[in-house]
Amino acid sequence: MVHCYKLNGYNIVLDTCSGSVHSVDEVAYDIISMYKSNTAEEITEYILKKYKDQPDVNADEVKECLGDIAELEKQGKLYSEDVYENLAIDFKNNSNVVKAMCLHVAHTCNLNCSYCFASQGKYQGDRALMSFEVGKQAFDFLIANSGTRKNLEVDFFGGEPLMNWDVVKQLVEYARQVEKQHNKNFRFTLTTNGVLLDDEIIDYLNKEMCNVVLSLDGRQSVHDHFRKYYNGKGSYEDIVPKFKRLVEKRGGKDYYMRGTFTHNNVDFTEDILHMADLGFKELSMEPVVCAPGDPYALTEADLPKLFEQYEKLAVEMIRRKKAGNGFTFYHYMIDLTEGPCIYKRITGCGSGTEYMAVTPWGELYPCHQFVGDPKYSLGDVWKGVTNKAAQDEFRSCNAYARPECKDCWAKLYCSGGCAANSYHATGKISGVYEYGCELFKKRMECAVMIKVAEAEE
């Protein structure tokens, strides 16, 4: 399967199953698009007619281009066969490893953001803080179930995890004590709204967390519209100086400035550029997750505007990089030569199998977005996974699980998509959240275009 598209002046051909990327001229673009459904004679006739005003486009040239395409096909770089379907099923069925946890250390928050998918940190339940004992048991569960995996990931999440800071520190210290004896390497991430950051916390995070995720929605008016204290005051002015201090002292370690955009700011590129202009360089911006009827939900009419924004962002990123003030956008990060293997590309995010969320009470859920849904309660950190039927549903999620994805060029980039998005949009994790697919495909087109632009320089 090939996907041909034009963007920012480039003609791009993606070969889905080999992962090959080709930058081609107009003539080759047309020939590749026709190659599988037309004879060489038909293609030649069409091309010579279409490009009759271009003297360099003659029968010999078309013949040479057809030969080049045949050669690429022979090398497995064009029209490559899809031979991975059974790999996905076998790989997930043969693995019972757990290697990553979203640890909900605080089901409470000091902000009252109405768009929060976790209902102000409570996840439709009671406010609670995780005890050290529950967290320790979660770590022991993770180590015991991690098999031969060395790198174990824990994201301190909430609500707002800094509201349970002492337990976060105790758990990090516990992990550092035990990781060597088990031949493990804990990698910690913490996601914060920034309100409680101070120098002591910043220094600790910068020492122990391999990644920190900092929540900022962009321009002050946009950020403060949702990200408010309980008294109604926006949080922008308080947190931006703290985020700047954290990043200044971070010493180049990973971080992401992460925002959410909604129907209220479909011009979200302005918010990303605002973050960049504040001096932040590792940026992420996600579409809001909410019920379709919510006033800030993204609409069908927003979609073309969002496409335009993603393209505008990609072009601006190329421009800024050339000017020496580039920045990274999470969804445009794509490493064509050193990126993920085919197993990663077909097995999905690992929710419910190698990745789980743990509530303050030690319950296990497939991921943070399923927390509080009794149907998907998997078990707990003492007994392990007891709801095998639910886990099996997640085990069957992969790039080939949904018939709708069969002929999609992007399936090896999204691996079948987010199970939670599918569930919320269709009522089942095996469904397809088509709106999200459209955004994802546009992001991938932009990400690859940036790589092509860099290669063409």
Partner 1 sequence: MSRIKTIETRDMQKSVKTGGCGECQTSCQSACKTSCGVANQKCENADK
Residues 233 to 272 in contact with partner 1, rule: CB under 8 A? 256, 258, 260
Q: With contact defined as beta carbons under 8 Å apart, do 440 and 414 qualify?
A: yes
Binding of partner 1 at residue 418 (CB under 8 A)?
yes
Contact positions with partner 1 (CB under 8 A) in 313-332: 330-332
Binding of partner 1 at residue 142 (CB under 8 A)?
no
Contact positions with partner 1 (CB under 8 A) in 165-194: 187, 189, 191
Tell the smallest beta-carbon distance from residue 157 to partner 1 (Å). Answer: 8
The nearer residue to partner 1, 301 or 341, going by C-beta atoms, is 341
Binding of partner 1 at residue 348 (CB under 8 A)?
yes
Long-range Cβ contacts of 169-175 (<8 Å, 24+ apart): 169/204, 170/132, 170/135, 171/103, 171/105, 171/132, 171/135, 171/136, 171/139, 172/208, 174/132, 174/135, 174/136, 174/139, 175/139
Quickly count helices (H) and strands (E) in the chain: 16, 15
Binding of partner 1 at residue 289 (CB under 8 A)?
yes
Distance CA 68, CA 273 (A): 41
C-alpha angle 196-202-207 in degrees, rounded to nearest 5: 145
Distance CA 78, CA 12 (A): 12
> Which of these ranges, 151-159, 196-204, 294-302, 373-381, lies near partner 1 under the rule CB under 8 A?
151-159
Q: Which of 121, 194, 287, 379 binds partner 1 (CB under 8 A)?
A: 287
Contact positions with partner 1 (CB under 8 A) in 296-315: none
Token pair of 71, please?
Answer: 């050669």
Report whether the peptide linkage leading into residue 159 is cis, meaning its omega lies within 30 degrees of zero: yes
Binding of partner 1 at residue 211 (CB under 8 A)?
yes
Q: How do beta strands 282-287 and 254-261 pair?
A: parallel
Q: Which of 2, 7, 24, 116 binds partner 1 (CB under 8 A)?
A: 24
DSSP states of 96-129: ----EEEEEEEE--SS--TT-TTTTTTTTS--EE
Tokens 């770590």, residue located: 139
Q: Which of 35, 121, 130, 155 binds partner 1 (CB under 8 A)?
A: 155
Q: Which of 79, 243, 394, 413 binds partner 1 (CB under 8 A)?
A: 413
Q: With contact defined as beta carbons under 8 Å apart, do 78 and 69 qualify?
A: yes
Q: With contact defined as beta carbons under 8 Å apart, do 290 and 226 qualify?
A: no
Contact positions with partner 1 (CB under 8 A) in 66-125: 68-69, 71-72, 76-77, 80, 83-84, 87, 91, 95, 97, 99-100, 102, 117
Binding of partner 1 at residue 358 (CB under 8 A)?
no
Q: Which DSSP state fits 195? A: T
Provide the mask over 360-389, with x wherever binding to partner 1 is found by CB under 8 A and - wherever it is not. Answer: -------xxx--------------------
Binding of partner 1 at residue 227 (CB under 8 A)?
no
The nearer residue to partner 1, 52 or 324, going by C-beta atoms, is 52
Contact positions with partner 1 (CB under 8 A) in 34-73: 61, 64-65, 68-69, 71-72
Q: Which of 36, 343, 388, 428 binds partner 1 (CB under 8 A)?
A: 343
